Structure formats: structure tokens, C-alpha cells
Amino acid sequence: MKNQYKSSWIIPFILVTFLIAFLSMRKLSDPDIGSHLKAGKWIVQNKAIPEKDTFTYTVNSHDYTDMNWLFQVFVFSIYKIIGYNGLSILGMFSMLGLLVLLLIRNQRKKVPLHISCFVFLFGFLIMETRISLRPEMFTFLFLTLFLIILDDYYYHRRNHLFLLPVIMLFWCNMHGLFILGFALAGAYFVSLMIRDKKIEKSFLLWMIMAVMVCFVNPYFTKVITFPLELFTRFDPNNIFHEHIKELKSFFDLDRFLFKDILFMIFLAFTFICAILTWKKRVFHDFFLLVVFAYLAFVSVRNIALFAIVGMPILCFSLVDISAFIREKVNAVWLKRNLRIFRISGVILMILLPLALIARIIAGSYYADNHEYTKTGIGLDSRQLPEKAAGYLLQNGLNWRIINGISLGGWLSWRLPQPVFIDGRLEVVREDLYQELTESWKLGLADLADKYQADLIIYNYVKYFPWTVQLLGMPDWRLIYIDGLTVIFARTNYSKNLQEIDIDSLFRLYNIPCNLDESSVRRILETEPHASFRAFMEGFWENQDFQSDDLLNLGSFFLQFKNYPVAEKFLLENLRRTDGRNKFIYYALSDIYSAKGDLEKASICYRQILRFDQGNIVATNGLRKFYEEQKRIIQPGMEDPQDQEAKQKFNNANEQYKKGDIPGAMRLYDEAIRLSPDYFKAYNNRGIVKAAALKNFKEAIEDFSRAIQINPDYADAYLGRGTSKLELNDIAGACQDWQKAMTLGNRQAAMLIQRYCPGKK
């Protein structure tokens, strides 16, 4: 066995190790790390374990069973010594420690190094999304340690069972999944009974000791029952399961990405190999595969657990299959071709890790999987609201806040005031989260008033319904925005704060303020790179993460009806990404349609057709522009009365932004009187009736009139569907959103996913 570490496979294994190191050396981007640091600091300062929640002002009467308290003290101590960089390094060394433990387990079973190389490469790619500094990482380590000790006893009669209670003592005070240790020990106990046809009393004794030691914790018996309560999140009817991606079933994913397909291949291959070698496998092998496969399908967050359990079993099975092949296949033929296979395998396992390392460092690996992970150490301020927290601290804004759930953990760590909600679901519970989701349906103003909040801070990409509502909330004003987060404050509290300086925002992101028409056309007409060329560039060109900020900012200002600013951000994103994102063209076509710039809108539609031939949105858009542009886009522009109607419409929009609801309604009425076919006036009047006046029935009438005039107007279907939802007409709402989505409205697609079961 030792000779293999001097063989040609040592170089591939070193490269696989480097790959895992780069895969796990990532900037901190999980907002829950803020909650853990906050709790660790509280425990150290108070020299006590929390029993009631102190991090929120909404649920501070709730019990706080802190299953992760030891982990939190540990990471806070690391932070105090080394800072955020140390936490990133800790995450990397945790994964390398897991690799070492898996290798030790394979070595005990005499697994050749080339098999370990292949299996570990794909296994760690599968669990990549769960590589983050969380208590779960210690579950990975403890689970593997458990299996090494159990293997030693079962296969080699090495009695290190006394270590099981020691491991469990730490495990039960660091993460709720310590109960998996009971399942592991129970499976091996049954295997021993089947093999030896008797009860192993020594093994049973240490099992009981491992269970009993779990009561050595700050919450005594509750620590045993509490993890079972968390399994309610896997209920399909649970609101957390419905909205939080990591809790979703594998089969409920919107689409399968590379890592998901890789997981299915890995799972199928592992089961096939185990079945082919079933005579060599024992009860606990199949038990662990079935149980952890079930957990992986129930919730995607458990896929990493299956990879950790499955990698060694796959390795053991491949060893047995290799031995069978050597025994059955002609020895002369095998000897003649073995060298070719070995050389080919070595070359492959050198090139593959090198290629993956290049794409991981460049960021294209994560972009391909629609992840925002970034290689490096320290904070990723693009994914954590660090800049927004710094703005609040700098200006002494310690007012009560309403915040999105994904930002709560980091804000609780950085801000002096308690937050509205954070990601500790076991503390927050379903009722408060239900209130939060209800606020997406025109309930933000009521939520802010109920909790007497003076600040609203949220991720505007995820919580875009709040942006739409804030347009109609005149007592709130925008005071801060970056590529992730936006902050609104009550107007009467924020009079002394400066307005958002758009020019400084342009300078920050290097946005050209004045583009001539030829430059705009040149950007719009950029021919996107071929997909193969774009893929190849991902090996050496660093991912332009700032371009994502440009897209986010452009989307926000588009939602906020500030078309000139949105256009500049979106055009710059288009320029930097060489026109690769077709959704930019959708957004720009909306802007140019609203501005009446038919020529540029038609360019956007033609670009959409480059990506998607026969796209109904682009096809209908071009048809409207070339066949009926005078009637639909600029109704009656030759008629002075229609010109006046358009002016009234624009003035009405301005009054609505200022919060003058009666003034806006009066001007919309006048615009419709002057131009009875002005469908946009009907639509916007419907928005005011729904959002500001809560008159959903009359709003539906206006939206329906807009649809009657222009059957391809997506915004009207969206508004009518939302109004129907408020009247509990779910079927009607879903039908309208489906039509809006068909016409290219992305917001409708998200509403369908949230409120329309069975529809995508």
C-alpha cells in the first residue's frame, strides 16, 4: 500500500488536493456567519448560553435553543485572533481535513490511490455548494471520524469505541445533525449482529455512552428532541420549505445544473457498483446509502452528506470490481493494455484538476452553476450587506429596521440595533416569516407601520415587489444603494441625509455619463460570442463580478421607473459582457418602448431572436413596431389632442412618484378622456387604484381595458393577476401571470413559482 504513494498517481492526487483547496478557499458570503459571530460574541461577553432571542425585536420572547453555541464561540475566537481572513482559511482547512479523513478511511481498506483520486474529485464537486463556514462542516468531519472508528472495529477489531462519546460530546454542542451519529452506530450494530449472530455487549455499551453524553449540554434533554422538530421544515406544506432553496426537494428544483446532473450520475453509479458487489457489501453499506440518498432527495442541502457517505462505499465497490476483472479477464491482454490505461488515467487526472482550478480561480466555474461564490479570503462585500451596514453606522442610523431574511444575520452582527428577522429559522418560526412573505403582496406599508420601523433595507433583486410598492409610498425616500442592497428611510426622519448622488454612482462603477447615438447602437448591435468561445475564455479571463452589480442596479432603476439611469447601467453591462445576456435586451426593450424609441427597441428584439429564434416576445414586438407603431406605442402622435394626453400621462406619473395620489388620478383621467385608446394610462391608473387605494375591482377593470386595447401588453396582465390575487382569485391570477410570462415578464414567472402550484 505504501508503494502507491511513490507511484505516478501521487501527482494527480496532489492536484486533486489543490483543487479541493481552491474550491474551499472562498470569500465569506453566507449571511448566517453574521448570526454565528453575534452569538459567539454574546456568549463570550455574557459568559452564558442564550435562552431567549436577543438579536431581533420581533420574536425576542421566543426560546433560543442554540445548538451551535460551541461552534459559534470557536469561530468568534478565530475572528478575534485572525479576523475574517482567518475564517476563510478555517473553512479551507476544514475541507482539507475532511479529505485527509476520507483518505485514511480508504487506506484502511487498501483502496488504490487512483480510485481515491477519481472518486474524491467528483465527490467534492458534488458537495461544493455546501462548502461554507457553517456548523455543518463540523458534522462532515465528525461523521467521517465516526465511520473510521466503526470501520476499525467492524473490519479490523481495533477497539477505539471509547472515542465515540468524546466525538459526540463536541458534536452535540456544535450542530443539530449529531443525531446522525446514532444512525451510523445503529447500522454497524445491526451488521455486527448479522455477522456474529450475537449482541456485541462492548459495542452496545459504548453506543449507550455516546447517547448519554449528549445530555452534557446547556439545554439537557431538549437537545435530543429539538433536532426532530427541525424535520418539519422538510414538509412540502411548510412555508420555509416552499421558499428557501436549500430546503427544497431535489425534484422541485427549477432546473438541473451541471452539479445536479453530476450528483445523479454519482448516485446511480454508486448504487450500481454496490449492487454489483453485493456479496462483498454488508448491511450498513446499503443502509447508509439508502438513508442518505433519501435525505438528499428530500432536501438538496443533504446532497453533501450523501457524497461523504457514498464516496468510501463507491471506492470499496470499485476495488472489488477491479479484483473481479483482473481475475476473469485474460491476464496477457490485461497486462499488455494496463500500461496504456494507467498512462491515460494519469494524464486525464492531471489535466482535469488543472482545468477546473483555472475556471474556479477565474470564477467561470461558479458562473456556469449560477452561483455568486468568489475565490479568495476575507469578506465578499458583494454578497454581504457590509457596505450598507457601514453607511448606517457612519451616519448613526440606529433606528428600527425592516429587513429581508437573507440580510438579517449579517446586519445583526454589524449593527447595534436588533433586526426584524434573520436566518435562524428555529427561532424566527413560521408566523413571522409568513408576515414577511405577505408584505410582498402590497403589504409593505402596513408591515412598516405595524412594527414602527423607520428604515427598510433589503436585497432588491430578491425582494423586487418591495421596490414597486415603495414607488407609491411617499413618506419613504431612497437614501442608499449598492450592487446588492438598498435602504429607504421615512422622509420625516431622513431630511438631513443627502439624496442619492447618481453621478457619483456612475463614477464608482465607471459608467460613461454621455453616450452618443452611434455608441449606443454599437453596444446594442454587439454580436454575442459563440458559446464555445465564451466557454474557452472562462479558463483565463476573470469573471467580471462588477458586471453583475451593473445588471442589478439597472434592474432596480428600471423597477423604480428611472429609465435614463437604468439604461446607462444596462448598456455598460452589455458592453462588458459582450452581449451575452439576452435578458438585458428584454429590459432595454422595455425602456426604449416606454421612451417611444422604436428603432432601438427593434434592435433589442432582433438580438433576442439571435438567442431564441421564434421568441414570441421579440416577434410580437417587431410586429407592433413595424405594423402598428403609431397606434400602440405613440397613439395619435399626429393629433395635438393625443400629444396633450401623453403630457398628462407623464405628469400623472410624476405626481404618483411624489405621493400625490388624487393629483395622479385626476391627470390619468384627463389623459384617458383626451385619448380613449391610451392603454398605458388605463394600466397606470389601475396600478394606483390597486397599490394606493386598495380598490382592486376597479383596478381590474382598468387593466382589462388596457388588455382589450393592446392584447400583448404584459404589464396589464401582471397587474390584473396581482389584483385578482388580492381578491383570492388564485386561478384567475395564475392565468394572467402565465400570459404575462409568455409575453416576457420575468416578475410574473416568479409569482407563478410562488403562488401557482404545478406551474413553472
The answer to whether the beta carbons of residues 442 and 450 sit under 8 Å apart is no
Lowest mean pLDDT among 114-123, 612-621, 718-727: 612-621
Alpha-carbon distance of 113 to 1, in angstroms, equals: 9
Residue 664 CA: distances (Å) to CA of 472, 649, 656, 713: 11, 9, 5, 22
pLDDT digits 0-9 by tens, 245-258: 777 777 777 778 88
Residue 6 has pLDDT above 60, yes or no: no
Cα radius of gyration rounded to whole Å, the chain: 30
DSSP reduced 3-state for 379: strand
Q: What is the pLDDT of residue 156?
A: 87
Identify the residue with better confidence: 155 or 751.
155
Q: Quick one: average pLDDT of 360-379?
A: 86
Query: Which pLDDT does position 596 carry in this prediction?
Result: 74
Say which residues have a Cβ less than 8 Å from residue 335's Cβ, sequence separation at least 6.
Answer: none
Q: How far apart are CA 487 and CA 425, in angstroms?
A: 24
pLDDT at 532: 66
Closest CA relative to residue 368, chosen from 376, 360, 378: 360
Indicate the SS3 state at residue 367: helix
Q: Which residue has the higher pLDDT, 746 or 162?
A: 162
Kindly indicate the confidence band of residue 243, based on its pLDDT and cuts at 50, 70 and 90. Answer: low
pLDDT for the residue 624: 67
What average pLDDT does the segment 153-162 reach? 91
The candidate with the shortest Cα–Cα distance to 63, out of 246, 215, 218, is: 218
How do residues 429-470 score in pLDDT, each as one tens digit?
888 988 998 898 889 999 999 999 999 999 998 888 899 899
pLDDT higher at 100 or 373: 100
Q: What is the pLDDT of residues 327-355, one digit of tens each?
A: 766 655 556 666 777 788 888 889 999 99
Average pLDDT, the chain: 86
Confidence check: pLDDT of 637 > 60: no
Average pLDDT in the 531-538 region?
70
CB 555 within 8 A of CB 577: no
Quick one: average pLDDT of 319-331?
Answer: 78
pLDDT over 70 (residue 521): yes
421-429 average pLDDT score = 87
- Read off the pLDDT band of 231 (50, 70, 90): low
Nearest to 581 by CA among 370, 425, 408: 370
Contact 55, 409 (CB under 8 A): no
Helix (H, G, I), strand (E, B), or coil: what is residue 457? strand
The pLDDT of 618-629, averaged and rounded, is: 63
Instruction: Note the pLDDT of residue 1.
Output: 44
Residue 471: is its pLDDT beyond 90? no
State the DSSP string of 198-254: S--HHHHHHHHHHHHGGG-STTTTHHHHHHHHHGGGGSTTSHHHHH-GGGS-GGG-S
Asked whether the beta carbons of 29 and 374 are under 8 A apart, the reply is yes
Of 403, 388, 467, 468, the closest CA to residue 436 belongs to 403
Alpha helices in 509-639 (DSSP H): 517-524, 531-537, 545-559, 563-576, 582-595, 598-611, 616-627, 629-632
> What's the longest Cα–Cα distance across the chain?
98
Distance CA 587, CA 305 (A): 40
**Which pLDDT does position 760 carry in this prediction?**
42
Burial (CB count <10 Å: 0-12, 13-18, 19+), residue 669: middle
The CA distances from residue 293 to 123, 251, 315, 387, 524, in Å, are: 14, 13, 17, 40, 47
Asked whether the beta carbons of 694 and 670 are under 8 A apart, the reply is no
Q: What is the pLDDT of residue 479?
A: 93
CA atoms within 13 A on the CB side of 591: 27
d(CA 84, CA 73): 15
Q: Which pLDDT tens digit goes with each residue over 689-708?
A: 988 888 999 999 999 888 88
What is d(CA 443, CA 727) in angstroms, rounded to the nearest whole number?
14
pLDDT digits (tens, 9 = 90+) for 176-209: 889 999 999 999 999 999 999 999 899 999 999 9
pLDDT of 402 above 90: yes
Is the predicted pLDDT of residue 654 greater than 90, yes or no? Answer: no
- Which of 3-12, 627-636, 712-721 shows the lowest mean pLDDT across its residues? 627-636
Determine if residue 755 is left, alpha or beta; phi over 0 gives left, psi from -120 to 50 gives alpha, anything else beta: alpha
Quick one: average pLDDT of 631-657? 69
Band of residue 524 on the pLDDT scale cut at 50, 70, 90: confident
Tell me the backbone φ, ψ of residue 16, rounded to 5 degrees: -65, -40
User: What's the CA dihedral at 91, 96, 102, 105 to 10 degrees?
Assistant: -120
**Grid cell locating 41:** 460574541
